[in-house]
Amino acid sequence: MIRRLLIANRGEIAVRVGRTAREMGIEDVAVYSEADAGAYHVGQMADAVSLGPGTPRETYLSVPRLMEAARRAKADAVHPGYGFLSENAGFARAVEEAGLVWVGPSAEAIEEMGDKVRSRARMRAAGVPVVPGSDPHAVSDADLVAEAGRIGFPVLVKAAAGGGGKGMSRVDRTEDLPEALAEARRLAASAFGDEKVYLEKLLERPHHVEFQIFGDRAGHLIHLFERECSVQRRHQKIVEETPSPALEAALRSRMAEAAVEAGRAVGYVGAGTVELLLDEKRNFYFLEMNTRLQVEHPITEVTLGIDLVRAQLEVAAGRTLPDHWARLTPRGHAIELRLYAEDPVTQLPRSGEILDYVEPGGPGVRVDAGVTRGSRVSLEFDPLLAKLIVSAPDRKAAIERAHRALGEWVVLGVETNRAMLAAVLRSPEFLSGRYATDLVSRLPAGESPEPPPAAWIAAARAFGGPGSAVRSAGPAGGGPGNVRDPWGEASGWRTGA
Helices (H), 6-140: 11-23, 40-43, 63-72, 89-97, 107-114, 116-125
The span from the CA of 276 to the CA of 289, in Å, is 9
Q: 249 or 454: whose CB is closer to another protein?
A: 454
CA distance 296 to 237: 9
At what angle are helices 297-304 and 308-316 packed, to 10 degrees? 100
Residue number, 174 or 346, with CB nearest to another protein: 346
Spatial neighbors of 425 by CB under 8 A, at least 6 apart, are 239, 337, 399, 402, 403, 406
Cβ proximity to another protein, 90 vs 456, nearer residue:
456
Contact 152, 176 (CB under 8 A): no
Beta carbons of 357 and 411 less than 8 angstroms apart: yes
* Closest to another protein by CB, 61 or 66: 61
Answer for the pair 364, 401: CB distance below 8 angstroms, yes or no.
Answer: yes
What does the alpha-carbon distance between residue 60 and residue 80 come to, in Å, rounded to a whole number? 10
Catalytic, 292? Answer yes
Nearer to another protein, 98 or 379 (CB): 379
- Which of 318/486 has CB closer to another protein? 486
Footprint on this chain of another protein (rule: CB under 8 A): 166-167, 169, 183, 187, 190-191, 234, 343, 346-349, 352-353, 355-356, 358, 406-408, 410-413, 415-416, 418-419, 422, 445, 448-463, 465-467, 469-471, 473-474, 481-482, 484, 486-487, 492-493, 495-496
Q: How far is the CB of 456 from another protein (least distance, A)?
A: 5
Q: Is 449 exposed, middle or buried (0-12, 13-18, 19+ CB in 10 A)?
A: exposed
157 close to 179: Cβ distance less than 8 angstroms:
no
How far, in Å, are 25, 186, 292, 328 from residue 295 at the CA level?
A: 24, 27, 10, 21
Active-site residue (options: 65, 122, 292, 373): 292
**Which neighbouring-strand residues pair with 212?**
273
List Cβ neighbours of 147 (8 Å cut-off, separation of 6 or more): 134, 135, 138, 199
- In the complex, minimum distance from the CB of residue 144 to another protein, in angstroms, rounded to a whole number: 20
Considering beta carbons, is residue 322 or 374 the nearer one to another protein?
A: 374
User: Residue 98 or 470: which CB sits closer to another protein?
Assistant: 470
Q: In degrees, to the nearest 5, what angle opens at C-alpha 149 toward C-alphas 146 and 152?
A: 150
d(CA 235, CA 275): 13
- The contacts of residue 483 (CB under 8 Å, 6+ apart) are none
- Catalytic site residues? 292
